Amino acid sequence: MASERSILCLLVLLLLCAVSLAASPRFLSVSLDRLINSKPHVDCPPFMSPAASSGNKIPIRHPCVCPPYCGGTKQTRRDIHGHDKARLSTLRQRSLVPAPAAAPIPAEAPSVSIPDHSGDFLESPEFIVVVGFGTPAQPSSVMFDTGSDMSWIQCKPCSGYCHPQHDPVFDPTKSTTYVAVPCGQPLCSHTGSKCNGTTCLYSMDYVDGSSEWSTSGILSQDTLTLTSSTKLSSIPFGCGQQNLGKFGYVDGLLGLGRGKLSLSSQAGHSFGSTFSYCLPSDNSTTGYLSIGSTPVSNQVVQYTAMIQKSSYPSLYFVELVSINIGGYILPVPPSIFTSTGTVLDSGTILTHLPGQAYTALRDRFKFTMQGSKTAPPQENLDTCYDFAGQSGILIPAVSLIFSDGAVFDLNFYGILIFPQPTIGCLAFMPRPASTPFSIIGNTQQRSTEVIYNVAAEKIGFVPNSC
């Protein structure tokens, strides 16, 4: 079976290479004015991302690429400016009040959508939604992550330590529906059955050789409010009492992994086993997170198979086999990608490619960008350009190609990331030796609706959806 798959992948590569020889070059462009107005640059602390989860340990902390906070410079916290408060207030209002009237959704396919936003204004490189925990609902600004199962928020009394956050810390004593999960309950087994005698405990580490990034506390259940008319009862989450690391000003995390404790699994009873999200194309726009099936407007969905790996049961794998850049198929054998597999992850910033694939992509990008003014490397980003003074920016289009023929066309902002307002860098990096698989990060997913149909074991892509 393995040899047959290898032969099939090789045939796919040969076919793609033949097509690329006859294909016209493909490019994307944006004006410099629009670039600056969209505020695409990343003002963030070191990139923390729970990308690889096995049980309660998350062994990968992804490297930072933001010069203001890297290189050992101590990060100084700042007050959230007025316009940032307004953005957060607007996001909260849009999340927890009735949505505008829309076309009715068939009864057999219930769904709910809430807006998501870049977390830059909360000093987080992740994407943020505002939900409510408890009864009455206490608003929480949380990042959402398909690489994590466990949802958690910081909780009073924070007997250990709570990092600074913009919203008031969740107070369980003010919720009439809050329950601490007792020891011996089935839910407790999913956290390793850790107990303090009567109450189930949880612990998760986000580490790079230390336990610097971590959260631990009480496994709890409470009502989760998505909109004023959509509430989910008895959703399990971690009530964080000891939360260490630079999480920015976010209140916690929504886990959308494949495990039993994740929001996507828990919501499946009410909304089915499908969810999707669209990450905003730039930091000045808004996307959405949808639980349940939602209609796709007049566009064909590119579906690829969702692969399961027993070593990483919580993660969403896809079978990437090739990359098209500017109409040119990289001359990289599919086995370079498939030997370890590729994870699609909303919580990792950059895409991590096998070394051979990254080198081929980088070299072709440089070849296509000849004549553009180069810029010094920006931390882990080694292919950068200075676009100051130009009227517009023209770059080669990039598409990810999967073994079943599905194609994922990246947005302009899915190819370049901007550490500074007019300094753009190729938003890919070679996979670190410590990472056991390749990763398609959230930068590459910007503006595309990504549909996770867990029951049908497939993932769909709809470009230019937000």
Select which of 145, 167, 205, 251 is catalytic.
145
Select which of 116, 149, 282, 345 is catalytic.
345
Q: Is the pTM of this model over 0.85?
A: no
Per-residue confidence band for 33, with pLDDT thresholds at 50, 70 and 90 = low
Q: What is d(CA 309, CA 433) in angstroms, rounded to the nearest whole number?
A: 19
Give the other-Cβ count within 10 Å of 297's Cβ. 9
One-letter amino acid for residue 228 of the chain: S
Interval 270-284 mean pLDDT: 90
* Beta-strand relationship, 252-255 and 152-154: antiparallel
The reply to whether 282 belongs to the active site is: no
Residue 249 CA to its chain's centroid (Å): 17
Cβ atoms 387, 35 nearer than 8 A: yes
Q: Is the per-residue pLDDT at 446 higher than 80?
A: yes
The reply to whether 382 belongs to the active site is: no
Q: Which of 449, 109, 151, 146 is nearest to 272 (CA)?
A: 109
Per-residue model confidence as pLDDT tens digits over 47-103: 333 333 323 333 333 333 333 222 222 222 233 333 344 444 444 444 454 333 333
Ordered domains of the chain (ranges, CATH) = 2-41+295-462 (2.40.70.10), 111-292 (2.40.70.10)
Q: Poorest-confidence range of 32-41, 354-363, 394-403?
A: 32-41
Q: Is the per-residue pLDDT at 232 higher than 60?
A: yes
Query: Which helix (DSSP H) or strand (DSSP E) does residue 95 occupy?
Result: helix 82-96
Per-residue confidence band for 206, with pLDDT thresholds at 50, 70 and 90 = low
